[in-house]
Amino acid sequence: MSAPRLRDVMPRNSVFASWERQRNKKEVHWIMECFAEMLGVFLYCYLGIGSTAGFVLGNILGLTGLSSILQIGFGYGCGILFALCICYTTSGGHLSPAVTICFCIFKRFPKLKAVRYIVAQILGAIIGCALVYNQWKSLFDAAEAKLIGLGPQVFASTQFTPSGPPGIFAFYLLPGQTLARAFLNEFVNCTILGTVVWAAMDPTNYLIPPTAAPAVISLAYSAAIWGFAVPGISLNTARDVGGRIFMLAIYGTEAAGGRYAAIAALVNIPAIIFGAYLYEVFLTDSDRAVTSAQLEFQKYLRDHARAQPHGNVLHSDTSSNEKDNNMDSEHIEQSRV
């Protein structure tokens, strides 16, 4: 027996109900999914970059207590947690091009939808950067003016680094850091993230029920930032590319970031794929029992897959034919965090 629909227990206003009928048509529903991905990455970037702005600008201007690495980790972690809780039920809550690509490789996620998701994710990061920039603009300008006042040598050696105002939005190589170490830092952290994400999705992992997965994933991002933000990590292509595009729009090619830009933008993709691959090869076990919490979770996903908006049933809730099973399986695999 399927679960009751929202319309059965809490009917919506006729205006919203009419809009819902239009937005959930197959031809346009992908726009809602892309909006959810854009919103999710916006939340992740907006809260994390906001904390980063306080840290960088406070250090330049000598204003104590504005932020810290601890706060930055919590800012990004809270952003991811809120994004997953808000956007998961619409888009699956990928929030990262690397995760979307992993779904294409391991979960049969449609390639055209993946391209749409990645574009939406980068757009969400750009919007987040633009808002934070405008909200901190007075202190941003004051920090740049102070650096200029310290002399051209200090300005040139600080501006396009993690300690300069542009470093709030785009990732730059830490002075003294080598590209090889930056690569290692990014690859190791993102491999761990990929493994954690795949562990959180494992329906046989009784220590991570579905409702705990967003918190576990968010904490993994925060822990990476707490431990390795100073030597330099980006963790997310959308976050890096969105921030760099925004800085290029403000400063031109000076903000490009040199060879480190490729590490910050791209290394997380093979690393997260590698982390997911390690979990699939060494830790996934088809003989393990699926937990009751996961069974209930998958039941809700099946119920959602079987019905179109406003009661137009695609096929019977009690049907057990092969077509139903294949559709249910595909929906579950494509909708997981």
Q: Please tell me the predicted confidence (pLDDT) of residue 307.
A: 55
Are 256 and 303 in a shared domain? no
Query: 92-101, 106-115, 269-278, 295-304: which range is least confident on average?
Result: 295-304
Determine contact, residues 327/308, Cβ cutoff 8 Å: no
Determine contact, residues 7/310, Cβ cutoff 8 Å: yes
Tokens standing for residue 177: 């850091």
Q: Contacts for 309-313 with beta carbons within 8 Å, 24 or more apart?
A: 309/20, 309/21, 309/24, 310/7, 310/17, 310/20, 310/21, 311/5, 311/7
Q: Please tell me the predicted confidence (pLDDT) of residue 101.
A: 98
Are 228 and 323 in a shared domain? no
User: Largest Cα–Cα distance in the chain?
Assistant: 75
**What mean pLDDT value characterizes the chain?**
90
Query: 96-100, 218-222, 239-243, 295-299: which range is least confident on average?
Result: 295-299
Determine contact, residues 171/238, Cβ cutoff 8 Å: no
Tokens standing for residue 285: 């076990």
Are 275 and 310 in a shared domain? no
The reply to whether 5 falls in a domain is: no
Burial class (CB in 10 A: 0-12, 13-18, 19+), 289: exposed
Structural domain total, the chain: 2
**Model confidence band, residue 260 (pLDDT cutoffs 50, 70, 90):** very high
Q: Please tell me the predicted confidence (pLDDT) of residue 330.
A: 42
pTM (2 d.p.): 0.90
| Sign, CA torsion 236/239/241/243 | negative
Are 145 and 232 in a shared domain? yes
In the chain, count H helices and then E strands: 15, 0
Residue 89's CATH number: 1.20.1080.10
The reply to whether 129 falls in a domain is: yes
Distance of CA 163 to the CA centre of its chain: 24
Range of the domain at 215: 24-289
Q: For residue 19, is pLDDT > 60?
A: yes
Are 198 and 300 in a shared domain? no
Q: For residue 315, is pLDDT > 70?
A: no
Are 328 and 268 in a shared domain? no
Are 251 and 313 in a shared domain? no
* Residue 307 bridge partners (DSSP): 313
- Contacting residues for 187 by C-beta, under 8 A, at least 6 apart: 267, 270, 271
Q: What is the DSSP string of 207-264?
A: TS-GGGHHHHHHHHHHHHHHHHTTT-----HHHHHHHHHHHHHHHGGGGS-TTHHHHH
174-211 pLDDT per residue, tens: 999 999 999 999 999 999 999 999 999 999 999 999 99
Q: For residue 309, is pLDDT > 50?
A: no
